[in-house]
């Protein structure tokens, strides 16, 4: 029984961090119809900025603030300087299908190399703002610490904030319109290009939080966020790329599923487990769990 509880708790925590990454991916997808593989790279760069602030000031939340700003700036920068140029040039031929995917992959490699050359590959740490000792219930200590609680609370707050943004504000309306029907949005007076950039900036900020929370419990290297990218992406696809709630649900499902495999089957099957979860979901619902069956707009 204890193992079940432990598995659920660990799964919930890892799932929450994946949720942030998959949210960022879905945000970009919904505003640009591009899967941004460089999301992890942007988050990584933002986290290194956060690391610099954290090691100088010792204040975690200040570091997070700087990281969010850095992430948003990088996100906006990537869209403005990179994606627009890309769409201008690469819009014909067989490569049009592949071009955005490859381009963001290239960007990921570029950011990683830049980070590696600037900070080196040594393991860096960021102090967690709260204790990482597990809660003690009676005589047993759970693998669930105040840090895990913090993660879940933070993710929930961000999710609610984004939901309010998208459903209740004009900006949110503009973001949704620019993604689904750009021509009509333009006719309605929405500056779609600028709106898209804002979408990328928000995604960058969210990704930065994911990176910071992930590092608080782990080490920071130019490769440490790769796992986050893969699982965040899988989570986004599982949840259906069209819905933000789906992104979170998908991430939690993935997180718990992976932890079950980790605890009950074996450590080496974790990744292929991710693949299995993904293919299972897509076979039943090719558009992801939360898809409303309206048909894919790939």
Alpha-carbon distances, residue 77 vs 199, 201, 203, 225 (angstroms) = 12, 8, 12, 21
Q: Which of 94, 138, 293, 295 binds another protein (CB under 8 A)?
A: 94
Closer CB to another protein, residue 165 or residue 223?
A: 223
Q: Does 195 bind another protein (CB under 8 A)?
A: no
HSE toward the beta carbon, residue 90, CA cutoff 13 A: 15
Q: Does 93 bind another protein (CB under 8 A)?
A: yes
Question: Which of these segments, 60-68, 160-168, 172-180, 265-273, binds another protein (CB under 8 A)?
Answer: 265-273
Q: Which of 35, 49, 179, 208 binds another protein (CB under 8 A)?
A: 35
Closer CB to another protein, residue 113 or residue 167?
A: 113
Question: Which of these segments, 63-71, 119-127, 154-162, 203-211, binds another protein (CB under 8 A)?
Answer: 119-127
Restricting to residues 212-231, which ones interact with another protein according to CB under 8 A?
217-219, 221-223, 226, 230
User: Scanning the structure block, which residue is given the tokens 């979901």?
Assistant: 281
Closer CB to another protein, residue 58 or residue 143?
A: 143
| Rounded CA Rg of the chain | 19
Question: Which of these segments, 47-55, 60-68, 165-173, 260-268, binds another protein (CB under 8 A)?
Answer: 260-268
Alpha helix stretches (DSSP H) within 124-220? 146-168, 170-180, 182-187, 192-216
What number of other Cβ atoms are within 10 A of residue 85's Cβ?
11
Q: CB neighbours of 277 closer than 8 A, spacing ≥ 6?
A: 234, 238, 253, 254, 257, 258
Three-state DSSP class for residue 223? coil
Q: Does 112 bind another protein (CB under 8 A)?
A: yes
Q: Which of 18, 29, 48, 51 binds another protein (CB under 8 A)?
A: 29
Restricting to residues 38-57, which ones interact with another protein according to CB under 8 A?
none
Q: Does 12 bind another protein (CB under 8 A)?
A: no
What number of other Cβ atoms are within 10 A of residue 289's Cβ?
18
Least distance in Å: CB of 147 to another protein? 9
Q: CA 26, 226, 263 angle in degrees (round to 5)?
A: 95
Q: Which of 241, 247, 248, 256 binds another protein (CB under 8 A)?
A: 241
User: Scanning the structure block, which residue is given the tokens 């007076």?
Assistant: 189
Alpha-carbon distances, residue 56 vs 50, 52, 217, 224 (angstroms) = 10, 6, 19, 22
Q: Does 58 bind another protein (CB under 8 A)?
A: no
Q: Does 164 bind another protein (CB under 8 A)?
A: no
Q: Does 163 bind another protein (CB under 8 A)?
A: no
Q: Which of 113, 149, 167, 169 binds another protein (CB under 8 A)?
A: 113
Q: Does 123 bind another protein (CB under 8 A)?
A: yes
Q: Does 282 bind another protein (CB under 8 A)?
A: yes
Q: Which of 201, 206, 278, 289 binds another protein (CB under 8 A)?
A: 278
Q: Report the C-alpha gap between 204 and 153 in whole angstroms.
A: 20
Q: Report the C-alpha gap between 125 and 50 in whole angstroms.
A: 11
């Amino acid at each position: 029984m204890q193992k079940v509880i432990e598995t659920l708790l660990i799964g919930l925590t890892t799932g929450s961090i994946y949720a942030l990454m998959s949210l960022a991916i879905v945000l970009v997808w919904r505003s640009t119809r591009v899967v941004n593989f460089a999301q992890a790279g942007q988050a990584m760069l933002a986290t290194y900025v956060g690391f610099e602030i954290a090691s100088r000031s010792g204040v975690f939340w200040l570091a997070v603030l700087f990281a969010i700003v850095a992430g948003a700036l990088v996100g906006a920068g990537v869209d403005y300087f990179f994606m627009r140029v890309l769409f201008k040039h690469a819009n014909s031929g067989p490569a049009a299908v592949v071009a955005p995917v490859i381009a963001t992959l290239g960007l990921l490699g570029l950011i990683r190399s830049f980070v590696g050359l600037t900070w080196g590959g040594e393991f860096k740490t960021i102090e967690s703002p709260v204790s990482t000792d597990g809660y003690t219930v009676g005589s047993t200590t759970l693998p669930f610490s105040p840090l895990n609680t913090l993660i879940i609370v933070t993710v929930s707050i961000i999710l609610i904030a984004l939901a309010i943004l998208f459903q209740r504000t004009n900006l949110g309306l503009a973001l949704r319109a620019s993604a689904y029907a750009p021509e009509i949005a333009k006719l309605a007076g929405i500056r779609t290009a600028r709106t898209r950039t804002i979408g990328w900036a928000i995604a960058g900020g969210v990704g930065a939080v994911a990176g910071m929370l992930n590092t608080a419990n782990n080490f920071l290297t130019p490769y440490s966020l790769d796992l986050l990218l893969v699982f965040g992406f899988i989570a986004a696809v599982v949840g259906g790329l069209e819905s933000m709630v789906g992104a979170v649900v998908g991430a939690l499902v993935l997180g718990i599923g992976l932890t079950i495999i980790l605890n009950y089957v074996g450590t080496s099957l974790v990744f292929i487990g991710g693949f299995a979860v993904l293919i299972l979901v897509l076979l039943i619902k090719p558009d992801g769990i939360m898809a409303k069956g309206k048909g894919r707009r790939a």
